[in-house]
Amino acid sequence: MISLIGALGESGAVSAETFGRTLLFQGFVGAFVLGVVGLLILKLVVGKRRDPNVKLPPAYSTGLPIIGNFIAFAKSPLGILYDAQKELGNVFTIHLAVESCTFLIGPEAHEAFFSATDEVLDQADVYQFMTPIFGKGVIYDCSLYKRRQQMRALGSFLKPALLRKYSSIIAKETHDYLKKTWGKSGQIDLLPSMAELIILTASSTLLGPEVRGELFCEVSHLYEMLDKGLTPFSIFLPNAPIPAHSKRDKARREMVKLFSKVIKRRRENPEEASKNIDILQKLIEFKYKDGSKLTDDEVTGLLIATLFAGQHTSNITTTWSALFLLEDKRNHGGVHYNNVMQELSNLEPTPGSFSRGEGVDSKVLSEEEHMYGAVKESIRMHPPLIMLMRRVLQDVTTINGITIPKGHRLMVSNAVAQRSPDVFPDPNTWNPARWTDFDITKLPKYSFIGFGAGIHTCMGEPFAFMQIRTILTVMFSMYEMELTTPFPEPNYEAMVVPPKGPNMIKYKLREQPVSSLFGEKGNSSSVRTEPVVVVDTPDGDDNEFTIEEVAKHNKKEDLWIIVKGRVFDVTNYVDVHQGGEFALVNYGGRDATDAVAGPQHPASVPTLLERYCIGSIKK
């Protein structure tokens, strides 16, 4: 979930501008306040003696000694990476104060980052500043063993059957919000409007009816206080006695009180509560492996983590996608815009249903090739989180025999990697067609890393794509829109990188249904001919299935496989499977043990599969 996508998900991400400014502050403190002591520490870190036979990454340096790197990094975080890559290649270290940051650029170099386990590359060390927000003992403030169980609890709301149900909820929420807030016509700044809508849809699907119906305003206000309590200063001194932190801490205490009341009511009436499909209910029901349940504080922390994981990233990606489509319509002939509108026209099941927030189900979304391409291309061009990072706990060897030493901060930049001309032709042009009928087997592994990759793929990716495409489907079906301000540049000063604003949209309600825009439906293969059957995938991995039951789940939109006697629902993984769609669908409903163990797969595949396990075969 773009769900931060990376701050909660498996990737681990941060704004480069924020990271640069924080390290700039850190550097000046070390260099000028501590003076000689700081310099000696820096020399000890940078010049630590190692085995002369070990090949270390080359170090990049620019400007004045000691402070030159931070100034360059803070001024242009991506610019310094491009300069270092041009001079030193795809693996290099930039020393920033007492931090040695090693960057990996390009698919081949990325493998060391995305195939390493958490025992080798750790998130917790570099994200300790989130503890005051998430809470003690939650996510980054607990052992890896416990963290994995908490992530598994969060993953329970990402089951394919639940995602199928969420799309209709989000579509209705989108329609109601636009009707009430936008009205029939007018102008609006898109980014703040999408921020309001995203938190509404998140409340409906994740936090439950009590929050959405009774407590939304209070939760929104407390979330805003938590959000404002995360500043560049917080990354360096997360518990410093400043006003933003005081408000943050108070907001978290109030959030725990608020959710504790809801949790108490649900636990007092478990039969009625079990009917809820939101993540709050999943967390209430979750048990650790030792049989203990999550405390109210832990449930609240995980809910907060979920909101942080998706609010900004989904908002920003929805905004960028809409802006690119409208800019294409305004200045580039509208080929991609018209492809999306023709697609919506073909897919609308009954006239006007999309504009009413109806009929936007999992089958429609699975057939939205052009809308999917528009969103994915927008993420390629402007990923909300432009750097992913982890702490090196054990020496890591990457391309050309280069060793990244223990203690380094290992980083990749999706913003740089996803603009590589060696991988993406004409990389600075927004071209959704590059993803239409795309053969993923021709794309080098670890080249598109907008949601991480490999075993560090963000678990919220399916939810994010579903949420964003559902919102755009309803919005573009309801309104005729045009962008009235210049196309924006990215704002690298923000914690998560949005377009610089304002981005004003002029809009008016469509006079005819989207299905009537192009006369006869232009692509009969996209027309709905049969109802969608929603399959309720069982939660947890303690369920048992017969081989005959598994065999029924053999289609792209409902795909199970068997590996070593265990059953995996890989429906959400089809579109990103590096071996292509056919290779995975070919094993749908049957045993794929030998195929998974094949030489084409990295050793990390079994770990990746764990998040999709739903049970085992009956003996």
The answer to whether the annotation marks 458 as part of a ligand binding site is yes
The residues pairing with 189 across neighbouring beta strands, listed in sequence order, are 504
Q: How far is 27 from 302, CA to CA, in rounded Å?
A: 33
Report the alpha-carbon distance of residue 300 to residue 140 in Å, rounded: 15
Residue linked to tokens 């959400």: 572
Task: Please list the residues that pair with 216 across neighbouring strands.
Answer: none
Structure tokens at 49: 């003696």
Cα(432)–Cα(325) distance, rounded to whole angstroms? 10
Cβ neighbours for 45, distance < 8 A, ≥ 6 positions apart: 95, 98, 100, 407
141: number of Cβ within 10 Å: 18
What is the radius of gyration, based on Cα positions, of the chain?
Answer: 24
CB under 8 A, 24+ apart: contacts of 533-538: 534/161, 534/164, 534/165, 534/362, 535/160, 535/161, 536/161, 537/159, 537/160, 537/161, 537/162, 537/569, 537/614, 538/614, 538/615
3-state helix, strand, coil in the chain (%, to 5): 55, 10, 35
Three-state SS for 312-337 is HHHHHHHHHHHHHHHHHHHHCCCHHH
Q: Is the dihedral angle over the CA atoms 398, 399, 405, 410 positive or is it negative?
A: negative
Decide: 484 and 505 in contact? Cβ < 8 Å.
yes
- In a 3-state reduction of DSSP, which class is residue 617? strand
Quickly tell me which residue has 């509560």 as its tokens: 273
Q: Looking at the DSSP assignment, which residues form a beta bridge with residue 410?
A: 102, 390
260 class by beta-carbon count within 10 Å (0-12 exposed, 13-18 middle, 19+ buried): middle
Annotated binding site for heme: 458
Which segments are annotated as binding site?
458
